[in-house]
Amino acid sequence: MKINGLFSPLVLLLLALASCASDDDGKNSNESQSADHLAMKGADASNTGLETVRGHYVFGHEVRSFKPCGKDEAIWVIDSTGLLKTLYAELAPKTQPYAEIFVVANGRIGPPPADGFGADYPGSLSIVKVTYATFEGFGCDFDWNNFTYRAQGNEPFWMVDILRDELRLARPGSDDQTWTHVKKDKTDDAVIFHAIAENQSTIQLVIESKPGRDSMSGAYYGLSARLILDGESYTGYAIQGTGPVGE
């Protein structure tokens, strides 16, 4: 009985410690789940707070730079997509090391990396999506305010500009055509514009969220386009401007 009396407090103490350890494990597990939940929320919100940037990109030995339009200094590029390196290799002339290509992308501008080659730059650009890239084509001097979307294709050439509720079609050898009272529909991965002219000519422009390439210049577009004009279908690609958006 004395032995039992001696060990009972010890047993109780061990049980209490085990219980505390169990509670701590459970608490840590709950905290871990909470952190995972916050991480998922962060992942869900990862595309918020993005801005559209336009400028010139250079890829080379110890160089991953982007000079925004209208700025004098370049910033370091962090490209999680890996696409810019591939596009640079395709578009930049092999005979011109450190040549610039023009890029439009969605990303976040922030501080430079703490170390490495990028630490000497005044800031950084984290790329989330590349929407346009070219060596010869639209650039900083281009009037991006002149349209909401511009879509075009080759063989035969056609170009459609959309600004607010107006749609303009240009084709070589034909007068430009304009449709007003343009209606817009949206799906998960496309925006669709359609209209009927007074002469009953119909037009539909489908802009989809999948890449397209200019078959002549090789320029990369983050959007592809399909034009249906009076029943005839044409394929191409599109860019988004900064012009006013219609209802």
Check: CB of residue 214 under 8 Å from CB of residue 135.
Answer: no
- Tell me what pLDDT residue 11 has: 42
Contacts of 182 (CB under 8 A, 6+ apart): 162, 165, 166, 167, 193, 194, 195, 246
Task: Quote the longest CA-to-CA distance of the chain.
Answer: 111
Q: What are phi and psi of 116, to 5 degrees?
A: 85, -175
pLDDT classification of 47: cutoffs 50, 70, 90: low
- Tell me what pLDDT residue 110 has: 95
Check: CB of residue 124 under 8 Å from CB of residue 97.
Answer: no
- Tell me what pLDDT residue 137 has: 86
* Geometric angle at alpha carbon 136, from 130 and 141, rounded to 5°: 80
CA distance 159 to 16: 77
- Tell me what pLDDT residue 48 has: 61
Contacts of 221 (CB under 8 A, 6+ apart): 131, 132, 211, 212, 213, 214, 237, 238, 239
Tell me the pTM. 0.76
From residue 93, alpha-carbon distances to 99, 214, 241 in Å are 7, 17, 27
* Geometric angle at alpha carbon 209, from 206 and 210, rounded to 5°: 105
Among 30-39, 197-206, 230-239, the least confident range? 30-39
Q: Residues 99-126: what's their mean pLDDT?
A: 96
